[in-house]
Structure 1
């Protein structure tokens, strides 16, 4: 369990994968690139085999004056020239899908060489590891793979532009349920900070390296400070998001209670008016007034009046 801290110390053994520092250290550095390669191969499940990656500049400026700057978490190219953008997204953004599309354009435009070109492109993979759920209706579906598709034939129109989103809160498998290497990677990403030792099921050599690289006690003084600052930023963000959600729920409950009161009052008034009309109708009927006249006076139907 992690306790609140500034820079006075951490009692966790391993880093929190969701912090910027940990994510970039484990997936975005040359010395740990075998971790990223293993993760990508597990994610692609044999459809593509990544033998090596070359890290590219993670900061990009648009080609036009009005273009915004893009800063990628991990931006690399494999031995086939295919490009991988790997992003850790801690919280839901209103236009996070738009952001993914926008980021992918940099990897596409950068492939254009100077001079003549026949427009042949290498594949571009945008991978989002999400610490939130954007598809709340499908509880167990944590893996989403998106490609351009012909909406009539339902066939893939273009397979070189791939968006993969992993909704991590939906991945709930326990240690004894892990089957594939992909399962194991998702388990580690979600639970690393809560572990005090390496689980027996994670016997692959790549996880030996992972747990060594993620052990906080082995950090240099500078690394430890950078991680503490990153962890503090993550906790501050988490606190802000939790508070906003609670306040949203409270406002929703207040609106619901108020709406319920208003609905109850409205129903009570309508019931009172109906009873009053029925009393008046009974009185007029007892005096021998015709049903059609009573209907005009009270607003009741003649069938209602005849049934009194």
Structure 2
């Protein structure tokens, strides 16, 4: 029998199960080095919500929280399915991390810079790029210059830019990547999307991943759990897509009917608005009938849990 061709484990599974091991830090360090364009060394993995291994959390979101050699904190998150208030949750996660890592009564000078990296596999919105970067810069409204703050450091007054202190955000829109991978960053995003790694890659982290993240190096039990993880992702995405399509179809039909009944611009606008609302309600009903938990329905539709309980009684 011929040798089985290497398959590589998806990154979301790896950060949940493998990349928290110090022996495997080189994989994550490679991604961060390529993304930041600066050599990054991980000192330790910190406690985070993504350490949970509950069945309900196995396919939706996983994360890892690390401290680098500069004492900064890096949040890496993989989100597999759509979440309505995703940006708000990123902001909350960063704010929570900042406050968790400064003790009551400590000087504000001990606040750590936080980097938030989101690897998303759903349609986050409109945009032509697969990688977006955001950070705080204070720009003069009339002069367009960037504000520098004078700060005391080691008994000296030094200038510092707010962007050196405030969090930075990276969003990798995996499904938007459609290039032939030529740069280290493109090789990484291609792996995130396809699970493929070139056999002769010299990209930081990926050469280590080729050795440490082989599918056939896992035990039969680990492979079974991993395959179930992939099935759960595919099933949830399919269910959500179907529910959304059915909800939109039903809502649009009601919206058009309402618009025709009114026969005027006001009626059409009202019909469209009500149609959209009905689309959301129809999606919620479909998800409920398929057995989805109320919390998941809330994330998928943007409705509050209280609204969902009232609607679906």
**Residues 114/203 of structure 1: CA separation in 2 closer, same or farther (3 Å cut):** same
**Aligned to 2:137, which of 149, 163, 166?**
149
| Further displaced range: 25-34 or 180-189 | 25-34
Aligned partner of 2:36 in structure 1 is 44
Aligned partner of 1:165 in structure 2 is 171
| Further displaced range: 234-243 or 221-230 | 221-230
For 1:116 and 1:89, locate their aligned partners in 2 and report how far apart those are by CA, in whole Å. Answer: 34
**Residues 117/150 of structure 1: CA separation in 2 closer, same or farther (3 Å cut):** closer
Aligned partner of 2:71 in structure 1 is 81
| Further displaced range: 37-46 or 112-121 | 112-121
Q: Deviations over 1:18-37 (max 9, x none)?
A: xx433424543322210100
Does residue 181 of structure 2 align to residue 181 of structure 1? no
- Paired residues in the alignment total 233
Does residue 133 of structure 2 align to residue 128 of structure 1? no
Aligned partner of 1:231 in structure 2 is 230
For 1:113 and 1:102, locate their aligned partners in 2 and report how far apart those are by CA, in whole Å. Answer: 18
| Further displaced range: 79-88 or 229-238 | 229-238
Contact 1:58–1:72 (CA under 8 A) maintained in structure 2: no
**Residues 154/75 of structure 1: CA separation in 2 closer, same or farther (3 Å cut):** farther
SS for the counterpart of 1:119 is: helix
Q: Alpha-carbon deviation of 1:205? A: 6.7
Q: Deviations over 1:113-162 (max 9, x none)?
A: 465525332210011001123232x2x22222122233634747433311
Q: Alpha-carbon deviation of 1:98? A: 1.2
Runs (5+) with no aligned partner, structure 1 = 1-10, 61-70, 267-308
Does residue 191 of structure 2 align to residue 191 of structure 1? no
Asked which structure has the greater CA Rg, the reply is: 1
For 1:190 and 1:112, locate their aligned partners in 2 and report how far apart those are by CA, in whole Å. Answer: 36
SS for the counterpart of 2:236 is: helix
Aligned ranges 1:71-110 → 2 under 5 Å: 73-110=63-100
Contact 1:26–1:36 (CA under 8 A) maintained in structure 2: no
For 2:203 and 2:108, locate their aligned partners in 1 and report how far apart those are by CA, in whole Å. Answer: 43
Aligned ranges 1:249-264 → 2 under 5 Å: 249-251=248-250, 254=253, 258=257
Does residue 15 of structure 2 align to residue 15 of structure 1? no
Aligned partner of 1:28 in structure 2 is 20
Q: Alpha-carbon deviation of 1:52? A: 3.0
Contact 2:31–2:204 (CA under 8 A) maintained in structure 1: no
For 2:243 and 2:21, locate their aligned partners in 1 and report how far apart those are by CA, in whole Å. Answer: 34
Runs (5+) with no aligned partner, structure 2 = 51-60, 147-160, 265-313
For 2:223 and 2:191, locate their aligned partners in 1 and report how far apart those are by CA, in whole Å. Answer: 21
Contact 2:27–2:204 (CA under 8 A) maintained in structure 1: no
SS for the counterpart of 2:112 is: coil
Q: Alpha-carbon deviation of 1:252? A: 5.8
Contact 1:21–1:226 (CA under 8 A) maintained in structure 2: no
SS for the counterpart of 1:73 is: strand
Contact 2:121–2:173 (CA under 8 A) maintained in structure 1: yes
TM-score, reference length from structure 1: 0.65
When the two chains are superposed, the root-mean-square deviation of aligned CA atoms in Å is 3.2
Q: Alpha-carbon deviation of 1:80? A: 0.8
Aligned partner of 1:270 in structure 2 is none
